[in-house]
């Protein structure tokens, strides 16, 4: 079960898209997990063959629980068997084992201890009956607390664990968007941000008339499904600036900043009925602008339909939020932890503006930067924000 955000502790497996024997390649969508943020598609990070499904449908399992066992291509040639962590207690005489996570390892858990078995329980003794029952129901023994002699896991313990899973499955809703749960997730992330991140804020007024003129010209000859929106140029400008200013692109974790070489821009997407999420548009600094637009459209549609992919939720390196053509002039974003910056675009307005010594009407937008003062200072932030504005003066180079 991958971590799909700092605030996620568990997820419910609602759909398997592969079965044992299926061949998979890196990036394939293998399962759908329901979280507070809706139904999330889980991608696989290894190529190989699905050997065993470890978590059954409608089971709610903690972050870090192996979901499936995969035989990687390397192992297939070596004739060995892959197994996902953690190792079972007292493994039978087995070939060399190799851990193959289906997702990147979750971040270290937050300070409060989890209400699961203490560390090391995986090495505790397990009765054969308990093991059989656990295997039959794909229960991860590391999530079972033993009540037998010396903490050994006995049949009754697995039964109790199973009862919990069944009860939770019954409460499960249809996959999709749950705005109440989403609100809870937003509350947790934003409260953490305001508690932990010393934000500083900068604002810059930028003339985007060149972008509008360029778009009008481009779109005039294009059918609707190939037209570009100003939002794509905004994302691109932030992505290119982030590549040049690495102090705004990455994660602040465990007391230090980890810059990211890749630029995955989180796109804040409002969902009617008061929902908000910011999935990643991957490699927004690299892909051609037309592809960026296509992917942005796809991302918005899937997000609003409740079909986001796991990697899109977990790995944005910087976020862009835009109020579009309605709303107000300026917005100051709150950084989504563990990111370190968010760029905000207000409503575009026609304003008197001085160009070449004369006043004329121009389309002007307020761009803001909220950044983490543990990582950067206002001086660097100002250069970063000015770079975004400069990039928007030459849309044909975006």
Partner 1 sequence: MNDLDIRKVIKEELNNIAPEIDLAGIDPAADLRESLDIDSMDFLNFITAIHHRLGVEIPELDYPKLVTLDGAVAYIAAKLGSRKT
Residue (162 or 181) nearer to partner 1, CB: 181
Q: Which helix (H) or strand (E) holds 193?
A: helix 179-196
Q: Does 216 bind partner 1 (CB under 8 A)?
A: yes
SS3 397: helix
User: Which of 79, 92, 112, 224 touches partner 1 by CB under 8 A?
Assistant: 224
Q: Does 270 bind partner 1 (CB under 8 A)?
A: yes
- Binding segment for partner 1 (CB under 8 A), chosen from 12-20, 60-68, 158-166, 321-329, is 321-329
Residue among 196, 190, 228, 215 at smallest CA distance from 319: 190
Specify the DSSP class assigned to residue 87: P
- Binding segment for partner 1 (CB under 8 A), chosen from 109-117, 143-151, 215-223, 360-368, is 215-223
- Binding segment for partner 1 (CB under 8 A), chosen from 60-68, 114-122, 295-303, 335-343, is 295-303
Q: What angle do CA 370, 374, 379 make, to 5 degrees?
A: 60
Q: Does 91 bind partner 1 (CB under 8 A)?
A: no
Pairing mode, strands 265-267 and 318-322 = parallel
Is the separation of the CB atoms in 6 and 272 below 8 Å? Answer: no
Q: How far apart are CA 231 and CA 393, in angstroms?
A: 15
User: Which of 21, 128, 149, 273 touches partner 1 by CB under 8 A?
Assistant: 273
Peptide bond into 64 cis (omega under 30): no
Q: Which helix (H) or strand (E) holds 372?
A: strand 358-372
Residue among 4, 87, 73, 65 at smallest CA distance from 38: 4
Q: Does 325 bind partner 1 (CB under 8 A)?
A: yes
Least separation in angstroms between CB 392 and partner 1: 17
Residue (125 or 297) nearer to partner 1, CB: 297
User: Which of 172, 183, 297, 351 touches partner 1 by CB under 8 A?
Assistant: 297
Residue (8 or 215) nearer to partner 1, CB: 215
User: Which of 300, 380, 383, 386 touches partner 1 by CB under 8 A?
Assistant: 300
3-state helix, strand, coil in the chain (%, to 5): 35, 25, 40
Residue (219 or 330) nearer to partner 1, CB: 219
User: Which of 19, 261, 326, 379 touches partner 1 by CB under 8 A?
Assistant: 326
User: Which of 197, 240, 292, 296 touches partner 1 by CB under 8 A?
Assistant: 296
- Binding segment for partner 1 (CB under 8 A), chosen from 80-88, 268-276, 281-289, 355-363, is 268-276
User: Which of 96, 105, 324, 360 touches partner 1 by CB under 8 A?
Assistant: 324
Q: Does 350 bind partner 1 (CB under 8 A)?
A: no
- Binding segment for partner 1 (CB under 8 A), chosen from 17-25, 220-228, 353-361, 379-387, is 220-228
Is the separation of the CB atoms in 68 and 46 below 8 Å? Answer: no
Specify the DSSP class assigned to residue 132: H
* Radius of gyration (C-alpha) of the chain in whole angstroms: 24
Is the separation of the CB atoms in 4 and 40 below 8 Å? Answer: yes
Cβ-proximal residues to 367 (8 Å cutoff; 6+ apart), any chain? 203, 204, 205, 206, 343, 344, 345, 346, 385, 388, 389
Q: Does 379 bind partner 1 (CB under 8 A)?
A: no
What are the CA-CA distances from residue 276 to residues 185, 236, 273, 313 (Å)? 10, 21, 9, 12
User: Which of 219, 294, 330, 393 touches partner 1 by CB under 8 A?
Assistant: 219
Residue (95 or 324) nearer to partner 1, CB: 324
Q: Does 176 bind partner 1 (CB under 8 A)?
A: no
Q: Does 174 bind partner 1 (CB under 8 A)?
A: no
Residue (219 or 393) nearer to partner 1, CB: 219
Residues of this chain that interact with partner 1 (CB under 8 A) are 216, 219-220, 223-225, 227, 229-231, 270, 272-273, 296-297, 300-301, 324-326
């Amino acid at each position: 079960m991958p971590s799909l955000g700092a605030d996620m502790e568990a997820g419910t497996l609602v759909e398997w898209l592969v079965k044992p024997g299926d061949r998979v390649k890196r990036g394939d969508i293998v399962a759908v997990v329901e979280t507070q943020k809706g139904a999330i598609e889980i991608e696989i990070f290894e190529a190989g063959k699905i050997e065993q499904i470890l978590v059954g449908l409608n089971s709610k399992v903690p972050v870090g629980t192996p979901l499936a066992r995969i035989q990687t291509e390397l192992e297939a040639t070596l004739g060995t068997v892959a197994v996902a962590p953690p190792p079972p207690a007292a493994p039978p005489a087995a070939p060399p084992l190799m851990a193959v996570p289906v997702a990147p390892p979750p971040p270290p858990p937050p300070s409060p201890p989890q209400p699961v078995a203490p560390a090391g329980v995986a090495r505790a003794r397990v009765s054969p009956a308990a093991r059989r029952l656990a295997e039959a129901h794909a229960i991860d023994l590391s999530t079972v607390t033993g009540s037998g002699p010396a903490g050994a896991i006995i049949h009754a313990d697995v039964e109790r664990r199973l009862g919990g899973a069944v009860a939770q499955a019954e409460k499960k809703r249809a996959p999709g968007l749950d705005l109440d749960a989403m609100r809870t997730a937003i509350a947790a992330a934003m409260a953490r941000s305001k508690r932990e991140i010393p934000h500083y804020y900068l604002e810059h007024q930028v003339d985007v008339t060149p972008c509008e003129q360029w778009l009008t010209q481009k779109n005039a000859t294009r059918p609707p499904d190939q037209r570009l929106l100003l939002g794509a140029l905004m994302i691109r400008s932030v992505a290119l600036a982030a590549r040049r200013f690495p102090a705004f692109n990455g994660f602040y974790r465990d007391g230090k900043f980890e810059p990211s070489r890749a630029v995955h821009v989180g796109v804040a997407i409002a969902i009617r009925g008061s929902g908000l999420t910011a999935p990643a548009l991957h490699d927004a600094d690299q892909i051609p602008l037309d592809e960026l637009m296509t992917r942005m459209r796809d991302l918005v549609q899937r997000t609003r339909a409740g079909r986001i992919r796991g990697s899109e939720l977990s790995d944005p390196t910087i976020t862009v939020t835009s109020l579009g053509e309605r709303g107000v002039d300026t917005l100051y974003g709150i950084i989504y932890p563990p990111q370190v910056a968010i760029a905000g675009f207000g409503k575009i307005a026609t304003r008197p503006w001085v160009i070449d010594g004369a006043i004329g009407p121009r389309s002007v937008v307020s761009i803001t930067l909220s950044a983490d003062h543990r990582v950067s200072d206002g001086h660097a932030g100002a250069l970063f924000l000015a770079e975004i504005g400069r990039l928007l003066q030459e849309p044909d180079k975006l």
